[in-house]
Structure 1
């Protein structure tokens, strides 16, 4: 399954639309590691005149030599090992896609490369038909590279932050797993294509989790540390913040206290984690309750919840993960899956409309999913359980009470609802 390209239709259409314009473009494709940026770029250049180059962290004179060799092979003629010469030759090639994968490696090696790229764009590419696709994993460095005051400020003609796959695509990786097992897989790795491809369909879920997360040679055992160390100088400070949020701290003061971080420096750390897509600041869709912080990245959430506390025992070979340990975690995963599947449910006709959607809370009241569109209201209560029709009706009545019996659509999301239920219902199978 690792070599199979899944979904990304919206992203491909975006790139194709820009490509069809025929004019020069500098497009930035970025997102966390393992999210599928390289595969998307390679899919996009299929059947097109193109040059693909993967940057590495080394002296830029050596990088210029590598790039010149790649371009020389593509053009069938010698190109001098100089950035300006390389791009001036590419500018003569008509409509060609040039992919520089992990271009921020160059920026980390020598920030002056931004000035070189500015000059290359202004003098050669801006008057050409070259489609320059810059791919990057370091979100904070991408932000700095194109911010006001940077040499590349104002040159970018498009950008796309590549996110996770929708929850429904988990089934494409593990078609023989039960729907409940797919929820557990999503709770372990979210919709990150590379991580999903690591699960062996011939193994049980518990065997896969232990092999990937809880053995010293497991691919996902140290991946979390590598993921944060790749972009951050203080990875364990960030881990402590993520863990504090996962354990229930939601306000600045609570997070700072639990993570042992100064309240004055915490906003800087949270900003970086938000840019990376690790945490998110959640505001209620209705009312004036204060926003809270939540962990958005399921892989890191699972890692800080289960792997980090047990690392000593894993190192000794004295720990084995049991699926029962996830029982209190799966209701949270299911609720998040529902919120991330709303567009899919609407497209399928399961939901009547979407509008602005999110959670709602006010004092002691909480609604799992609330969507507003003008005067229209759609409210859903999410239950990680099988319900009979009577329990579903009681749930809807309670939901109506929470919202003051406001007119609208009220429904229940559950694993399964047995018996005749006349209200709006969403079952686990609908998510896939």
Structure 2
């Protein structure tokens, strides 16, 4: 098993709440495999606690049996939820997959509300509820209609870890291979811990394994959220294949406009897709595009889903993925570059400290990343290329970026231009001319916290 990695801020926040003297009701939720259980168990590992993984039925009996093994006095309590929770007053209680309790007994929410209000609220009890069904946790536990609304003292939606966390899992790997791994795993701990290096050798073995997690993983994930999954799979496939507008998705799936909107809304709510608008526009802009939220889903629908039959037959090879993988990584590397710039922003402010960052597009013109400080009226335009660029190619990309920047309409703003690529020939010369250019070599500095000042960066 890998040691506990990253999540330092989340772990610190949980520890502070769990070691305090007041009552806490903490909700931790997020997509399956994102690491909720590992995080919470790390937070309570040296605290006396009850950890219970809820199942589909008879949860009260199973919970009591689990609690009695840690706190024997529970066996003398009344054999219902009120009596059991009263016996655990002042303790740390963790209930994983709480939606299973709701499915078994929808009244459990009102019951927990009553126990909290009448018995636990003025105690030092810590109650932590975890859930992988984002839709159910949002609707049943977190919404203002929930009986628990107003009782929770904290909530945490756990998201995938950032790209730079992968170096802690694979300290000897090069950045190129880490980008390749990230293209399949995103920052989702379960998928990361399945991978063995070299990546392509492992992927070949995994695809040929009769017990590969690839086959059923997405079905399991979708069944956590939706009762019927076929339409959602079709929509996710469309988006993963580059159909990003409602019309493109509708044409690919054959769904009418009136049919597709609720599906897209549900996929956004559960965190499986995101809707983005040009960074210069309001969130309500009608120019929104849809993207698959994590790389694993994008990878699965791009490479696994269309080839499931061949994988079963043993006639599909990882080499076929490798042939087009660099093209696929173009979009993945944009996500990596965005995280890279955010790290630079935290540590150095670049030429200025940006307050927002995102894509920009208009008709057929696109800019991969545009970072803005609206107060100072400063903008950083960045192109991202998963390629090895000659100096001439880099100059051509930067010159075209200057052309596209004029289309954005920030006439009186101070503008800066940047490029992030796999490798760039003669970076120093481009930097001397005022361009901000980075390649994979510069990632090492971020990871090692060696960004001391902009001047040093320019001298590299």
TM-score where L is the length of structure 1: 0.92
Local SS of the residue matching 1:421: helix
Aligned ranges 1:57-136 → 2 under 5 Å: 57-59=56-58, 63-77=59-73, 78-80=75-77, 81-91=79-89, 93=90, 96-136=91-131
Which residue number corresponds to residue 47 of structure 2? 48
Local SS of the residue matching 1:318: coil
Deviation at 1:127, TM superposition (A): 1.6
Deviation at 1:20, TM superposition (A): 5.0
Deviation at 1:240, TM superposition (A): 0.5
Which residue number corresponds to residue 210 of structure 2? 216
Candidates 148, 152, 159, aligned match of 1:152 = 148
Tell me, yes or no, if structure 1 residue 182 matches structure 2 residue 181. Answer: no
Of 17-26 and 411-420, the range deviating more from structure 2? 17-26
Cα distance in 1, alignment partners of residues 204 and 216 from structure 2: 13
Which residue number corresponds to residue 294 of structure 1? 291
Of 63-72 and 377-386, the range deviating more from structure 2? 63-72
Which residue number corresponds to residue 233 of structure 1? 227
**Do the aligned partners of 1:79 and 1:86 also contact (CA within 8 Å) in 2?**
no
Cα distance in 2, alignment partners of residues 213 and 176 from structure 1: 24
Which residue number corresponds to residue 365 of structure 1? 365
**Do the aligned partners of 2:207 and 2:317 also contact (CA within 8 Å) in 1?**
no
Of 133-142 and 296-305, the range deviating more from structure 2? 296-305
Aligned ranges 1:25-424 → 2 under 5 Å: 25-59=24-58, 63-77=59-73, 78-80=75-77, 81-91=79-89, 93=90, 96-146=91-141, 147-201=143-197, 204-213=198-207, 215-287=209-281, 290-322=287-319, 323-349=322-348, 351-352=350-351, 353-373=353-373, 374=375, 375-404=377-406, 406-419=413-426, 420-422=429-431, 423-424=435-436
Cα deviation, 1:390-421, whole Å, max 9, x if unaligned, reads: 43333323222222275222111011222222
Aligned residues: 423
Cα distance in 2, alignment partners of residues 116 and 130 from structure 1: 16
Local SS of the residue matching 1:69: helix
Deviation at 1:239, TM superposition (A): 1.0
Deviation at 1:243, TM superposition (A): 1.0
Cα distance in 1, alignment partners of residues 129 and 76 from structure 2: 21
Deviation at 1:71, TM superposition (A): 2.3
**Do the aligned partners of 1:350 and 1:426 also contact (CA within 8 Å) in 2?**
no
Cα deviation, 1:275-298, whole Å, max 9, x if unaligned, reads: 222211011111567111111221
Tell me, yes or no, if structure 1 residue 11 matches structure 2 residue 10. Answer: yes
Cα distance in 1, alignment partners of residues 76 and 297 from structure 2: 44
Structure 1 stretches of 5 or more lacking a match?
none
Cα distance in 2, alignment partners of residues 392 and 149 from structure 1: 55
**Do the aligned partners of 1:71 and 1:79 also contact (CA within 8 Å) in 2?**
no
Deviation at 1:389, TM superposition (A): 3.5
TM-score where L is the length of structure 2: 0.87
Structure 2 stretches of 5 or more lacking a match?
448-460
Deviation at 1:376, TM superposition (A): 1.6
Of 381-390 and 110-119, the range deviating more from structure 2? 381-390
Deviation at 1:381, TM superposition (A): 0.8
**Do the aligned partners of 1:214 and 1:307 also contact (CA within 8 Å) in 2?**
no
**Do the aligned partners of 1:51 and 1:99 also contact (CA within 8 Å) in 2?**
yes
Q: CA RMSD in A?
A: 2.0
Cα deviation, 1:226-277, whole Å, max 9, x if unaligned, reads: 1112321121211100111122322223212212333223222112211222
Cα distance in 1, alignment partners of residues 168 and 98 from structure 2: 31
